[in-house]
Structures are given as C-alpha cells and as structure tokens.
A and B are shown apart, each in its own frame.
Chain A
C-alpha cells in the first residue's frame, strides 16, 4: 500500500471535465511533482488533495484512509502557496501559529513550536515583522515555516518558487531539497518548470488537459517518454523531434532524414525497437535529445550505435558551458549540443554524430512511442 493513493479521480465544473480520471500513488517520504503547461489541471489536482476543491468521482487515500470528504484542516496536510498567502495583518509568528491557534493549542506550546521552526529556517530575527516588511525569499521561508510547524503527514507546494527571481529560485530549490532530505516528509509539488520537476522529484506526473500523460521517475520520464508531448515538454533545450521515414535494407533498419535542399541522410539503426519494423517505408517522428547529437569527437565513447552525417550549420549559440549548433532536418530546426570549445562556423557543412542508442521514435498518427 502506497502512502498517498489517488484513484480514478475526476473533477467536473458543469459540463467541463477538468480532471479526467487521475491515478497516481506515492510512497512514504516520496517527492511527487505534478508538472504540465498552464491549464493542464495540476493545480486543481493539488487543491483536491488539499480539500480546497471537491472531487466528482474517485478517491484520495492517505495511508489507506479515504480523505476526500474531510475538511482541509482535518486532512493533516500543510500547503505552501504560490503567492505565499501570508496573512498581512499578522506578524510572522502570528502567521506560523495561526493554524495551531485555530486548533486551540495553548500559547506556550505554540511559542515552542514557532521557535523550533524559526531555528530550522533561520527566521528567528523576523518573527515580529509583518509580511510586507519581508523580501521575497524571506516570505517564502515563512510560508514554509507555517507549513512545517504543523508537522503534517503530507506537504503540498503550489508553484512555490515561481514568484522569485532566477538566482533565488535556484537557492530555494536546493533548500527545499535539503528540507525534504532532512525531515523525510512526503511532498506533492506543482510546477510548470520542468527543471524543478527533474531536480526535486522522486516521481513525476506529466499532465496535459486533465490527464496524466506519464507517471514515473525523473530518469524514466527523461529517457523513455511515452509520447511526443512528454518528450517535447521535459528537457531543456527540448528534444529534437524530426519527421523522418524508416528505410530498410534486408535485416537492418535505418532512419532517413531530409535536410533542406540536400541529399537525404540515412542513419543505420543497430538496435531498433521491435515495433519499428512495422513502419518500414512509412513516416515516423524521430526524437533525439541535443546532448545525443554532438561533434564526432565529443560523442559518447561507449555508446554502441553512433552514426555520423554531414549537416549544414545555420546558427551557432555559444552558451558558455556548451555551444549549441542549429541545423535543419526534415523542415525543422534541430539543436545539437557541442563542447564549449568546438571549432564550428555557421554556414558551413560539418559532420555531426547521432547517438542512436538514445534515439526514440513516435508514431505520427497516435503520437505514441514506438516500442
């Protein structure tokens, strides 16, 4: 039995189905990230776990006990909101203690709990201030403090970092990860930022249009996306998804790419997925991540299936740590990730190495992965 189980959850507003049957589960101490574009239903799903919104069908269980009819305050959860939702009329201490006050915890005990949390988050010097006197990062800490002090079974985070500037966001991300590691609490976390999802999660649910597209560990999601949407959404820069056809000469298969105004490129596939043979002479979507498309010297040495092809380089983007080269295949811009010091010029034709062990194929009709 998993710690948190969501079973066939549906949510309708009038005739509009916002969540279309969600099945997700999370082990105790796990970190589940719900990720997806805006409007995919991830925040609604979090709100239903919190009890802030009612569900139409299905069940939410924590430790085997259904909680979907309980009032939010009875679910033993704590929530950190996107805007932090600190009560502007109360001090930091008042904010942290409000939940305990509502539950009738005596003042002395509240003070003890406040002090403990303040120590963990290093906000002791802020306790007497009002939220308006705090910086963004400090507010974020106080919001986490308010959640921590409840010592809940389940932590819910609703895009908690999206209001911070880039640098602070990275700092707070590490902070949250550390907090998770030290306290061992179970967390459900909503974000639209796939880097946050990859770095924080033990499990990711990629959502679109009220459905979970793929549910798995970050590595599974990244390396084995089940469909074009997941492949495209996760990873930065995004996976190259190139229209291609499958060619075959006897036993071996190859993938045929059409560069603009140049001869077609045929890359032999050494270990093609079994399902691909059905697509011989048919169009597919060929997916290759930028880091699997490099200059030949930079290619992964122990990869079993590397093919090299000449590509016309249109644009070079030096990014400091890497250099990105943009070429055109099958009518789409394709990004290759090269070493920072790669000698490459825009406008030239340069050989690029395709690491085909990491390549994935999708059926253009169903958008599903070909396995």
Chain B
C-alpha cells in the first residue's frame, strides 16, 4: 500500500538505506561470531600443530602438517604433576562421577517436584523455597564442614574395612563427589521438575487415583512417561554442571589418581616441569570440553531451556 503510493525515487533511497542497515547488522553479527569462535578455533588448531610450528608460526594459521600426536599424548601420556599417564584415567573418573550423580539427582528431583505439586501439604512453599535457596549459596559456605564430614566418613570407612573387609564406599572420592553433587544439585532438579509439574494437569492425577493407581504407580505410569522434555533439560543441565565443576573436585579429590577431569586439566596446564607443550595442553582442554560440547551440539535447545528455567518463571 505505502510502496504503491510513495514516489519512485524515495522508495529506492529507502531501499538503499535498508540495504546499508542490513549490511551493518550482518557485519556486527559476524564480528561477534568471530569473537565467540576465536578461542575455540585457536584451541583446536593449536592442538593439531607441532611445537615447532607453534613457536614459529601464527596462532591463527591452520596447521601445515596436522598431527594427532598431541591428542594421543594428552590422552595417554601427559603429566599431571609428577604422574605421567595421560588424561584417560581422569576422564573415566569424571564419567564414573557424573553418571550416577546425574541419574540420582534427576530421579530425586522428579519425585520432589511430583510431591510439591501434586501432593501438597501445609508448608510446601516453605520447603520448596528452602531447597531453591540452596541453588544460590556460594559453595564456599559449606565447603569446610563437608570436608570435615567426608574426612570422618573416610576414617569410619577404614575402620569398617578392617572389621568387615568392605568399606561400603565410605572414603571413596568418587562416591564422595557423587554424594556432594547430588546434595547440592537437588535444588536445581527439584526446581525444574516442580515448575514443569506445576503446569501438568492435576486432573490426570485425580483420574489415575479414581482408576486405582497408587502414589508410585501414578508417578511411574502417568508422570514420568509425560516428562521427557524436562528430563532431558535436567539431565543436560546436571551433566554440564557436574562435569564442569572444579571447586568441589579440587577440594575433595584434588590430587592423586582420583581427580576428575577439570582438576587434572588444571594440573596439566600448570605443570611446570620441562618445556610447556601448548599443543598437548590444548588437546587436553579439548578432551575436557568435548563431552559437554557434544551434548550442547546434540541438544542445544534443551540446554538453553535448562539454563533459563533457573531464572525465568516456569
């Protein structure tokens, strides 16, 4: 309508302004894309270069003769402190910690969310608020007591070991970290599921009650099968958070062969014996980053939703 009525020259100058406008917008967007991609790009190309090329070449140039040697060394030989066995052991440490911690905290979060929305009792808001606040505390404020408790449990584990020949996982740092991550992840998982189940029709629960389903039958047959989106969100969120954690890992499994990936990577990078092999460091960093990056690439949409669920009203 307006295009028809406005005179031709004006229309073309408007079109030119619009074109310039678009170029500026796309230019800015591209510039920022470079800003965000640059460190990853540098990390990636460096991990495929030889030390020679790194010292004499340009940080941004592609490797002349790409080599997997740094990756292989990072995986199986690189030194963390004085032990030179590569990242692979620490990688598995992280996996052994992440998988149970994610599964347990997600399941508990789902049950808590179910109770807090569909089986409300007096004071349910207070209970939820107290669990929610736990998401925001600086973990420094619980770091020391937890260290003390884990220490005593470890000593108790040794006693048990001597008495029964089995320590029931007490004193095992993987078990400790699983426990810590479950406890301090509960607030988040409960929040996710509570917000999701808040919008979940209560009539379905009532219908199932009339149909004779019990508390757990309703959870297993009605709630869980309809919770896939929030399960994905929670699992991704917890996986990323626990995999990336450094504070708890360094406080409770900060040395020896029990370290998770993040602590090991930090040690590798800061190991000052001999020549610093940047290509190996970068390969090690990439190995540490890959699991979460893959999750992000595969399920980025859910990842974002998970991050925002913590802040935006559900």
Residue A77 at the B interface, CB < 8 A? yes
Of B94-102, B201-209, B234-242, B263-271, the segment with at least 4 beta carbons within 8 Å of chain A is B201-209
CB distance from B162 to the nearest CB of A (A): 50
User: Which B residues lie at the A interface, using CB under 8 A?
Assistant: 201, 203-204, 206-213, 217, 221-222, 225-226
CB distance from A109 to the nearest CB of B (A): 16
Give the interface SS of chain B, mostly helix, strand, loop or mixed: helix
CB pair A87–B210 under 8 Å, yes or no, is no
CB pair B225–A99 under 8 Å, yes or no, is no
CB pair A52–B213 under 8 Å, yes or no, is no
A146→B210 CA distance, assembly (Å): 11
CB pair A52–B210 under 8 Å, yes or no, is yes
Of A16-24, A78-86, A227-235, the segment with at least 4 beta carbons within 8 Å of chain B is A78-86
CB pair B213–A79 under 8 Å, yes or no, is no
CB distance from A132 to the nearest CB of B (A): 11
CB pair B201–A83 under 8 Å, yes or no, is yes
CB pair A85–B206 under 8 Å, yes or no, is yes
For residue B222, which residues in chain A have a CB less than 8 angstroms away from its CB? 87, 89
Q: Given known contacts A72-B210, A81-B203, what 16 new A-B pairs fall within 8 Å (CB)? A: A47-B206, A50-B206, A50-B210, A51-B209, A71-B209, A73-B209, A73-B212, A77-B210, A78-B210, A79-B207, A81-B206, A85-B204, A87-B207, A87-B221, A89-B222, A103-B212
Partner of B211, one of A52, A82, A88, A98: A98
Partner of A73, one of B201, B211, B221, B225: B211
For residue B207, which residues in chain A have a CB less than 8 angstroms away from its CB? 79, 81, 85, 87, 146
Residue A102 at the B interface, CB < 8 A? yes
CB pair B203–A85 under 8 Å, yes or no, is yes
Question: Which partner residue on chain A sits nearest B223 by CB separation?
Answer: A89
CB distance from A324 to the nearest CB of B (A): 38
CB pair A99–B226 under 8 Å, yes or no, is no
Q: Which of A13-53 contact B (CB under 8 A)?
A: 47, 50-52
A102→B221 CA distance, assembly (Å): 11
Partner of B209, one of A52, A87, A146: A52
For residue A77, which residues in chain B have a CB less than 8 angstroms away from its CB? 210
A52→B210 CA distance, assembly (Å): 8
A contact residues, range: 20 to 34
Partner of B226, one of A73, A85, A89, A98: A89
For residue A72, which residues in chain B have a CB less than 8 angstroms away from its CB? 206, 209-210, 212
CB pair A102–B212 under 8 Å, yes or no, is yes
CB distance from A54 to the nearest CB of B (A): 13
For residue A73, which residues in chain B have a CB less than 8 angstroms away from its CB? 209-213
CB pair B206–A52 under 8 Å, yes or no, is yes
CB distance from B67 to the nearest CB of A (A): 51
CB pair B201–A99 under 8 Å, yes or no, is no
A73→B218 CA distance, assembly (Å): 13
- What would 8 A/B residue contacts be, using CB atoms closer than 8 Å? A51-B209, A73-B209, A81-B203, A85-B203, A87-B204, A98-B211, A99-B211, A102-B211
CB distance from A114 to the nearest CB of B (A): 14
Question: Which partner residue on chain B sits nearest A77 by CB separation?
Answer: B210
Interface hub of B206, B210, B211, B213 (most chain A Cβ within 10 A): B210
As a 0/1 sequence over residues 104 to 143 of chain A, the CB contacts with chain B under 8 angstroms (1 = contact) are: 0000000000000000000000000000000000000000
CB pair B225–A89 under 8 Å, yes or no, is yes
A222→B217 CA distance, assembly (Å): 46
For residue B211, which residues in chain A have a CB less than 8 angstroms away from its CB? 73, 98-99, 102, 146
Partner of A88, one of B209, B212, B226: B226
8 residue pairs, one from A and one from B, having the closest CB atoms: A73-B212, A99-B211, A89-B225, A85-B203, A85-B207, A102-B212, A81-B203, A72-B209
CB pair B204–A79 under 8 Å, yes or no, is no
A146→B201 CA distance, assembly (Å): 18
CB distance from A121 to the nearest CB of B (A): 17
CB pair B213–A98 under 8 Å, yes or no, is yes
CB distance from B296 to the nearest CB of A (A): 28
Question: Which partner residue on chain B sits nearest A103 by CB separation?
Answer: B212
For residue B201, which residues in chain A have a CB less than 8 angstroms away from its CB? 83, 85
Interface hub of A47, A78, A79, A102 (most chain B Cβ within 10 A): A102
A102→B207 CA distance, assembly (Å): 12
Q: Which of A64-81 contact B (CB under 8 A)?
A: 71-74, 77-79, 81
